[in-house]
Structure 1
Amino acid sequence: MAPLEIVEDRSGTDVLEWSRGLVRPALRAALDRLPVSMRRVAEYHFGWSDEHGRTAETVDTGGKSVRPALVLLAARAVGGSERAAVPAACAAELVHNFTLLHDDVMDRDPTRRHRAASWSVFGASTAILAGDALLTLAFDVLADTGREDLAAELRLLTSVLYELVDGQSADLAFERRSDVALLECVHMAAGKTGSLLGGACGLGAISGGGDSDQVEALRGFGRHLGLAFQYVDDLLGIWGDPATTGKPVHSDLVNRKKSLPVVATLTAGTPAGAELAELYRRDAHLSPGELARAADLIEAAGARAWAQDQAREHHAQALACLRDTGLDPGATADLGVLAALVVNRDH
C-alpha cells in the first residue's frame, strides 16, 4: 500500500484503515507461527474465526488498531519508512492484545468486541496462555528483523512492560482498598495505558531512525494520548452505549472498578462521594437501579465533567509534544487526526 496522501479532510478512520492495510497481513503471518492450540484462541480473539476455528462470516478488524497506527506514523514523522516499521507495529499490537486477554480474565468481563470474551469460550487458563503466547510472539517478530537498532527497541519494549504490569497490579490492588488517592489512580492509568501508547510511538521513532530528542518527544505524545484515552475509556465504562462499546451497561461499576471518575468522586469529600462509597462497600451485586444511582452520583459530584476536561487537557499536551522537534508535517498532521479520534470516540 502506498504512503498515505496528505488530505486536509482525512478522518481518523481513514488513518486507521491505512494502517490496518499495512499491518494486518503481517499480523496474520505472525500468528501462523503460534502452536495450533494457541493460534486457535488468538484468531478467535482477533475476530478472524469462530470458536471452532472456522473463518468468521463477518471478519472483525481486531479492534481500533490505534497502537500500530502510532508506530507507523511515528516512523514517518522522523523521516523513516512505514514499511520498515511494520514489525514494530505488529509487536505493539500483539502486546496490546496480550493485555486484553489477561484483563478480561482478571475482570471477568464476559464480552470483548461484541461477542463472548476468549476466556469464557476456551477457559481462563487457556486465555492466559494465549496472552502469554502473543507476548512471546511480539519479541519474536521484533527479533526476526535483525535490525541494528533492535537492542534499543527491545529495551524500550521491556520498560513499557514493566510500567504496564505495575499499572495493572495497582488497578487490581485498588479493588481491595477503600483509601485510593486520586494521584495514585492517575499514576496507575499512566502505567496501564499511557506506557503502551507512548511505547508504540517510541518504537516507531526508533524504527524510523529518529534521534533521542525525537524519540522522547513522540513517546511523550503517546503517553499524554494514552492518558486521554484512559479518561475517555473510563467515561465509556460508565456511560458508554453497549451497542457501540460491546460491553454491558455500567460495566466498570458492575466490577466495582476504581476508575478515574470513580476515585475522583470517592475522594471529593461530598455527600455524593459518601453514598457512592457505601454502594461500593456492599457485598451483594448491585442492582440495575443501584448501578444507575452510582452513575448519577459520579455525575453529581462533577467527576464526569472533570474526566472530560482531563481528556481534553492531555490531548492538548500530547499535541504540544510534537512542536519544534523537526518532525515531518504530514505525519504530525496524521498524528493529530488520530489523537482527535481517540478523544472523541464512542467505543
Structure 2
Amino acid sequence: MTRIKSNTLIVLAVFLIGLIGISCMVKTEKEPAKTLKDAFEGKFHIGAALSANYINNHSQPSMGVLKEHFNSIVAENVMKSGMIQLREGEFNFDMADKFINYGVENDFHIVGHTLIWHSQAPRWFFTDSEGKDVSPEVLTERIKNHIHTVVGRYKGKVKGWDVVNEAILDDGSWRNSKFYQILGEDFMKLAFQFAHEADPEAELYYNDFSMANPGKREGVVKMVKNLQEQGVKIHGIGMQGHIGLEYPTIEEFEKSILAFSSLGVTVMVTELDLSVLPSPRRDMGADIATNVEYQQRLNPYTEGLPDDVQQKFDERYLDFFKLFLKHHDKISRVTLWGINDGDSWKNGWPVKGRTDYPLLFNRDNTAKSVVNEIIQLAAQY
C-alpha cells in the first residue's frame, strides 16, 4: 500500500508540474496586437499630426483614437515660424506650448515641425525697414535667433526636428526661395548647425514631398552628402507620404528608402495620406502654392466610396505598409497627416470643397477595415 501510494503521489506531482509548465507558457505567449502602436512596437513609431482644433480641445473623440493607436505626434501648423514669430522678436508660444505639454503629459514621441520653410515664413525675415532684401549677415542672425529660441525652449522635450522643409525641387535643383536667394546653399548648413547648438541631443531631419521622384532623390542625396562632408549633424530624412491610388510607384518609393538609408541616416515616412480623388495633374506632390478651380468631376464621392474604390484604397495602403515593414530596420517613424478623414487637408487641396477619404479612420472616428488588416500584416514581420 505504501509503495502504491508513493507512486500515485509521484504521478500526481509530475502531472501538476506539467500543468504549471503549460500555464507558464500560456501566460508568456504574446497577445495579438489590437492597436496600430502595439502592432508596430519594436519596429517604428506610428504618429499623427494634430491641428490647432485638437490642440485646443483634448476632449474630442478623435483624441481617444490618438491615444489608443498612436505613440508619436507632430503639430500640423502651430510650430511653423509664421505662427510663432509673426513679427520680429515677438514670440507667441501659446499654441506650441499646449501641443508640447500635451505630448509630454501623455508620453508621446514629439516631433517639431518645422523650423525653416519658405512657404510660411514671415516676410520680415527677409526684408529691411524699406522692404529691401536684407544682407546675408542679417538673415543668418535672424535664422539663428529663431532656431535658438524655439529649439532651446523645448530642449529635452522634442525628440526630433524637421529643421528644413521642402528646399529641393523635383528635378533635384534648389528651390529659389528667399533663403536660397540671400544665402545660397549655406542656409541649409546654418539651420542644422543652429538647431544642433540649441539642443545637441535632438535628432535633426530634412523633410520634403515627392521624394520617390528620381530627380528629387538624387538632389536630396547630393545635399545630404554635402552636409555630411562639412561635418554637419543630420540624423534623418522625412519622405512626405502624400500618395494617390496610382502614384508614386512602390518601386520608386523603395529606391528612395534605400538611397536615403545608405547615407547612414534614419528614414521616416511623414505626412502620410492616400487621396482617392482624381488629380488635376499627375504627381502633384504637396506644393501648397498649387490651387485648382473647383470642378464637379474632381469631386465624385460626396456620398461615400464605391466598393471598387474602397478595395483599391485598402490594397494600396497594405502595399505601402508591406514596404514599410519590409524596411522597418531603416524606418524609425510613420506619421499620418491627421487622425480622421474629416480633419485632412486633402479635403481642401488642391481643389477646395472636395470630400476625400485619405486616412485610416472615418469621419466618425471608427477604424476602417484596413486598419485590422495592417495590424495582422505587422504580426508577420
Provide the TM-score with structure 2 as the length reference.
0.30
Tell which has more relative contact order, 1 or 2 (C-alpha 8 A, sep 6+): 1
Give the number of the structure whose alpha-carbon radius of gyration is greater.
2
Determine which structure has the larger helix proportion and give its number. 1
